[in-house]
Structure 1
Amino acid sequence: MGVLRARCALRWGSPWRRSFTEANLAGTTLAFLVVMSIHYPKSFFKLLSAGFLLAVLPLVIGLLIDTVAIGRLATQSQRAVYDAARVSHATRELSETASSLERAAQQSVVLHDAALWDSYRVLHERFVAAGAQLHALPLETPMQAELDALLEREQQLHAALLEAGMQAPLAVELAKRHADIADSAHQLLGRSSGAIDREVESLRSLAEQTESRVKAQLFMLLPFSIFVVAGFTYLLAKPIAQLEQGIRDLGERRFDARIEVSGPDDLEQLGRQLDWLRLRLVQLEEQKSRFLRHISHELKTPLTALREGSDLLAEEVAGPLCAQQREIVRILRQNSLDLQRLIESLLRHGEAEFQQVPLKLQPLKPREIIAGVVEKQKLAMVARDVKLQLQLDDFVMCTDGERFRIVFDNLLSNAIKFSPDGGTVSVSVRKTGSQALLEVGDEGPGVAAAEREHLFDPFYQGQAMAGGVVKGSGLGLSIAMEHVLTLGGQIDVGIGRGQFTVKLPLNL
């Protein structure tokens, strides 16, 4: 039937809709290729927004198309149900009126009852009205033709019956022919029910087609959106990776490679700023190298005089020396030799980081290295009347002896400087499990809580006043920390009086 004549006017899979979807995908793809091949946007935010838009836009357009299609399908379904209900009601009204018309016609001509005759004429008018109402509804063409034929036959039969009159012998035959009219009306009612069933099946098939096309569109748009997301992920990740690599190079002191970032203008500007920082660090490194060379060269002049003076004293050129004076001269001469060795090492390695020197692990006894350092520091302790308390366990560990010596030498020198005159410095070394524990303490004021965070920073000096005639440079604890970390250990600062604890692996 024609209940859903309009349902085919705009189906989901109509050619214009498919063309629109294909054009949308083609346009989005073209835009993506333009972004990929021409240039980056001017800002990272614009690039991020463009990627989000290109990834979401096809899905949004597809969703809108599906929403419109499903909405129109729902509207058509509602209209179909409404029209089907009206057709069903009108055909049923026509069938019932035809049955009543048949009874009234036969009874009126058999009984020659005027009241029944008037009822027949009223039912005829009702039948005509029901037929006109049904004729106004959207019916299938065969059903429309059948209805027209039925109304025409009934009109001819009614006219013939009125012309003959209810008492004419022909009236009985004419009244019996109303049964054919009732049968045709019943057949029309059955056809309308079948047509409704067909329309329901058609709506179900159309809904399945819509569902299939929605799934097909989803399967088509999702890979495209994933492709767009992957492309923009690459565009976003590339400059970020270049920035990360540049920062890593700066952190690892690789200043030879230029930092270049290809991407949005703001990220490229950030890359240029990092490259400027690289050049600035190169200049600072060169300045540091020149400073080390100059200061090392300048230190050699007074050191030469110190060496010559100690040698003359040792040779008793200025007169004979007593035993205590010879011990002092020996200590001066030994320390001047150590200072000369350090300056020459500074000249050789002024431009290299200490971490670049490989470790030289070897079995050794910590107490022997500690004893050698204590011997070198004896003159400083005598000058301050500082007493030394030693608790040295006899054990073997595998470590870099030179680094261990520098760590202890800096900690002991620091303890002597901050001990009060006549104070006591305690040194202990022992084995605890798989570690060697070195503790150096003094009776000085200790480290203030506000200074603990920066205590191991290069050139940092706290508020506490150090004793001795030579002012410290603030490098001792920083150097000690670097060596301890290189050896795989840790160094801790005690609370209260000066107390440093070094933990080193035994490596056995």
Structure 2
Amino acid sequence: MEPTQPGARRPEHHRLDVRPLDPVHSLKVKLGLLVVASVAVGVLITWIGLRNELGPSRTFPLAILVSLLLTWLLARGMTSPLREMTAAAQAMADGDYSIRVRSTSQDEVGQLAEAFNTMSRDLEASDRIRRELVANVSHELRTPVAALQAQLENMVDGVTEPTPAALEVSLEQTERLSRLVTYLLDLSRVEAGASALTLTQFSVGDFLEECAEAVSMVDAAKGLTYVVDVTPEDLVLEADVERLRQVVTNLLQNAIRHSPHGGTVRLDAYPVDDDVVVEIGDEGPGIAPEDRDRVFERFARGSTSGRALAGSGGTGIGLAIVRWAVDLHGGHVEVADTESGATMRVTLPASARPAAGVTTESAR
């Protein structure tokens, strides 16, 4: 019997679910054994009855009754997973995805039961992710919307003057909303399987300088310093510029969110064999070692000293999009080991080697 997943429920089993034929790997062989067993039992009872001079009028009905009972017991055990799947499907229709089917047989019915359990787990995971998405996005939308509404109401009521500082606060909340919408649109592209890359060769140093300048204009309130260090200075990379800009921007915004006021955010790039490594580091509280393997999972959240590891203010979408975009290029992303802060390391092939199934075209 397969192990029960935590939180998963098994349907109640009837005591008469006898399964002596479970080790048999073919349903056809099972049916043949069922026929042979019922006939053999009927013949045996008939022979015993005739030897004891019970007569055909009593021996034949008894043989038929026992054969039918044996057939019913064995057939019930063979078809039990099908009944369990029917009950589980009805429960799924009511929104309960926790039921698992007992799959001990080795034949086609057992394989169907295992496939059904896999489908149940996938549906349960998808439903959990959907609920988390609704809850997280609702929370993230409510905060900036409430702040923006309060700020505008104060201006309309004359409580607050529409000074540049007050308007800047409103602009920050609007930009936060815009970033969240952008993440959700990117997530929809991931779900749709969008995997086309427009490849071009570009200077890594110039590219990182542009990304740092763009985010520094938006998040100037913290007074962060951006240090770009590319070795060698003429390092080039062949990739989809817009996808890579999406990667670097998401990682920069994550670093900015967790950096202390007046801190430093580093953007380093250097070659390793046939690859180009881009690292983005901050001076924040860092990422716990136990969280480093899962922070790029969709909606995953970990914490070290209160740090939320999410790519859009807590939704856990941004870092998942980073991994998706890097995977498209045939690269990988990880959390590097550092003594302080957090450093995200992106490794990409210097000459484009997109993942299997990804279509490419050259930039005009």
TM-score, normalised to structure 2, is 0.50
Q: Distance in 2 between matches of 1:361 and 1:423?
A: 35
1:16-52 deviations in whole A, cap 9, x for unaligned?
xxxxxxxxxxxxxxxxxxxxxxxxx9233688xx9xx
1:503 to 344, 347, 354: 347
Q: Does the 8 Å CA contact 1:331/1:376 hold for their aligned counterparts?
A: no
> Alpha carbons of 1:345 and 1:318: their partners in 2 closer, same or farther (altered >3 Å)?
farther
Q: Which amino acid in the other structure matches residue 473 of structure 1?
A: T
Q: Does the 8 Å CA contact 1:300/1:343 hold for their aligned counterparts?
A: no
Q: Distance in 1 between matches of 2:324 and 2:344?
A: 15
1:249-268 aligned at under 5 Å gives the runs: 265-267=105-107, 268=109
1:295-310 aligned at under 5 Å gives the runs: 306=148
Q: Distance in 1 between matches of 2:120 and 2:308?
A: 42
Matching residue of 2:237: 397
> Alpha carbons of 1:494 and 1:293: their partners in 2 closer, same or farther (altered >3 Å)?
closer
Q: Any idea what SS the aligned residue of 2:113 has?
A: helix
- The reply to whether residue 488 of structure 1 matches residue 330 of structure 2 is yes
Q: Does the 8 Å CA contact 1:427/1:439 hold for their aligned counterparts?
A: yes
> Alpha carbons of 1:371 and 1:332: their partners in 2 closer, same or farther (altered >3 Å)?
farther
1:321-354 deviations in whole A, cap 9, x for unaligned?
4xx88888777666654444444555xx28x636
> Alpha carbons of 1:457 and 1:44: their partners in 2 closer, same or farther (altered >3 Å)?
same
Q: Distance in 2 between matches of 1:362 and 1:406?
A: 15
Matching residue of 2:224: 386
Q: Does the 8 Å CA contact 2:209/2:228 hold for their aligned counterparts?
A: no
1:251-289 deviations in whole A, cap 9, x for unaligned?
xxxxxxxxxxxxx94442342142243255346546756
Aligned residues: 243
Gaps of 5+ in 1: 1-40, 51-263
Q: Does the 8 Å CA contact 2:208/2:228 hold for their aligned counterparts?
A: no
Matching residue of 1:439: 279
> Alpha carbons of 1:368 and 1:448: their partners in 2 closer, same or farther (altered >3 Å)?
same
What percent identity do the matched residue pairs reach?
A: 22
TM-superposed CA distance for 1:477, in Å, is 3.3
Q: Distance in 2 between matches of 1:404 and 1:281?
A: 31
TM-superposed CA distance for 1:427, in Å, is 1.0
1:453-474 deviations in whole A, cap 9, x for unaligned?
4443441313232399x95334
TM-superposed CA distance for 1:357, in Å, is 1.0
1:243-392 aligned at under 5 Å gives the runs: 265-267=105-107, 268-279=109-120, 281-282=122-123, 285=126, 306=148, 319=162, 321=164, 336-344=177-185, 349=188, 353=191, 356-363=193-200, 364-378=202-216, 382-392=220-230
Q: Does the 8 Å CA contact 1:440/1:499 hold for their aligned counterparts?
A: yes
Matching residue of 2:70: none
Q: Distance in 2 between matches of 1:452 and 1:389?
A: 24
Q: Which amino acid in the other structure matches residue 353 of structure 1?
A: E
Q: Distance in 1 between matches of 2:130 and 2:308?
A: 31
1:180-229 deviations in whole A, cap 9, x for unaligned?
xxxxxxxxxxxxxxxxxxxxxxxxxxxxxxxxxxxxxxxxxxxxxxxxxx
> Alpha carbons of 1:381 and 1:387: their partners in 2 closer, same or farther (altered >3 Å)?
farther
Q: Which amino acid in the other structure matches residue 495 of structure 1?
A: T
Quote the RMSD (CA, aligned, Å). Answer: 4.7
Q: Does the 8 Å CA contact 1:398/1:506 hold for their aligned counterparts?
A: yes
Q: Distance in 2 between matches of 1:448 and 1:297?
A: 27
Q: Distance in 1 between matches of 2:303 and 2:130?
A: 27
1:43 to 22, 45, 69: 22
Q: Distance in 1 between matches of 2:329 and 2:347?
A: 10
Q: Distance in 1 between matches of 2:139 and 2:283?
A: 36
Q: Distance in 2 between matches of 1:449 and 1:287?
A: 25
Q: Distance in 2 between matches of 1:44 and 1:444?
A: 57
1:383-409 deviations in whole A, cap 9, x for unaligned?
333322122445442212333123212
Q: Does the 8 Å CA contact 2:247/2:326 hold for their aligned counterparts?
A: yes
Q: Distance in 2 between matches of 1:484 and 1:271?
A: 36
Q: Which amino acid in the other structure matches residue 23 of structure 2?
A: F
Q: Does the 8 Å CA contact 1:428/1:439 hold for their aligned counterparts?
A: yes
Q: Which amino acid in the other structure matches residue 283 of structure 2?
A: E
TM-score, normalised to structure 1, is 0.38
TM-superposed CA distance for 1:488, in Å, is 0.9
> Alpha carbons of 1:370 and 1:306: their partners in 2 closer, same or farther (altered >3 Å)?
farther
TM-superposed CA distance for 1:360, in Å, is 1.5
> Alpha carbons of 1:275 and 1:502: their partners in 2 closer, same or farther (altered >3 Å)?
same
> Alpha carbons of 1:451 and 1:367: their partners in 2 closer, same or farther (altered >3 Å)?
same
Q: Any idea what SS the aligned residue of 2:279 has?
A: strand
Q: Does the 8 Å CA contact 1:386/1:424 hold for their aligned counterparts?
A: yes
1:473 to 292, 309, 315: 315
Q: Which amino acid in the other structure matches residue 333 of structure 2?
A: I
Q: Distance in 1 between matches of 2:235 and 2:168?
A: 30
Q: Does the 8 Å CA contact 1:296/1:343 hold for their aligned counterparts?
A: no
Q: Does the 8 Å CA contact 1:362/1:398 hold for their aligned counterparts?
A: yes
> Alpha carbons of 1:481 and 1:329: their partners in 2 closer, same or farther (altered >3 Å)?
same
> Alpha carbons of 1:467 and 1:273: their partners in 2 closer, same or farther (altered >3 Å)?
closer
Higher strand content, 1 or 2? 2
Q: Which amino acid in the other structure matches residue 387 of structure 1?
A: T
1:105-161 deviations in whole A, cap 9, x for unaligned?
xxxxxxxxxxxxxxxxxxxxxxxxxxxxxxxxxxxxxxxxxxxxxxxxxxxxxxxxx
Q: Which amino acid in the other structure matches residue 350 of structure 2?
A: L
Q: Distance in 2 between matches of 1:375 and 1:331?
A: 17
1:421 to 261, 272, 295: 261
> Alpha carbons of 1:433 and 1:269: their partners in 2 closer, same or farther (altered >3 Å)?
closer
TM-superposed CA distance for 1:504, in Å, is 0.6
Q: Any idea what SS the aligned residue of 2:348 has?
A: strand
Q: Which amino acid in the other structure matches residue 229 of structure 2?
A: Q
Q: Does the 8 Å CA contact 2:301/2:314 hold for their aligned counterparts?
A: no
TM-superposed CA distance for 1:299, in Å, is 7.1
Q: Does the 8 Å CA contact 2:301/2:308 hold for their aligned counterparts?
A: no
Higher helix content, 1 or 2? 1
> Alpha carbons of 1:496 and 1:300: their partners in 2 closer, same or farther (altered >3 Å)?
closer
